[in-house]
Amino acid sequence: MFVITGPSGVGKGTLIRALCDRIPALQISVSATTRQPRPGERDGVSYHFLSQAEFDRRIADGDFVEWAEYSGNRYGTLRSELDRRLRERVPVVLEIEVQGARQVREKMPEAVQVFIAPPSADALRTRLIGRGTDPPEQVQRRLQTATAELEAQPEFTHVIVNDRLDDAIEALVAVVEDELSPA
């Protein structure tokens, strides 16, 4: 299992899509969230979109391996998403927030943890504003959260700076290929 984390807007999704194109055996775990779908997102494909009440019920039932609140919404990894793939011995990628990565580390220390970092705080701000998916107050909350998340880099086995996309993709592919190759 590969846990890929980093601040919002750092390019985790782009890197993961490129990684999966290069290593087709990987499967992406579909996270659950309480946030509203963005244009083009589909339930069960992009995320499992849950109401606050349903998310609460699933927490109480122990359905999450990890969950976290991030910028006013909750996100989590459903145990069922992982169990099925792990039983089938399929390598799985989790794109999750730093809080969630810490929870996975506690419960599944064998998971390979990768932190994606921006080249600078200014570059991250430019990316978040430029993608145009969030209102200004949401961008500001994401930037405040990102400041604290960037301080977590030393906790992670692998840190990849997403400065030049092709270089970051190569670095991520190298980490995953190294972990997947027999010892």
The answer to whether residue 84 scores a pLDDT higher than 90 is no
Section 64-81 average pLDDT: 89
Do strands 73-78 and 32-33 pair parallel, antiparallel, or not at all (unpaired)? antiparallel
Q: What is the pLDDT of residue 134?
A: 73
**148 or 114, which is more confident:** 114
Strand partners, 76: 32, 67
CB-based contact 78:65 (threshold 8 Å) = yes
Separation between Cα atoms, residue 75 and residue 82, nearest integer Å: 15
The answer to whether residue 129 scores a pLDDT higher than 80 is no
Structure tokens at 35: 């946030």
Structure tokens at 113: 């943890």
pTM: 0.84
Do strands 2-5 and 92-95 pair parallel, antiparallel, or not at all (unpaired)? parallel
The answer to whether residue 132 scores a pLDDT higher than 70 is no
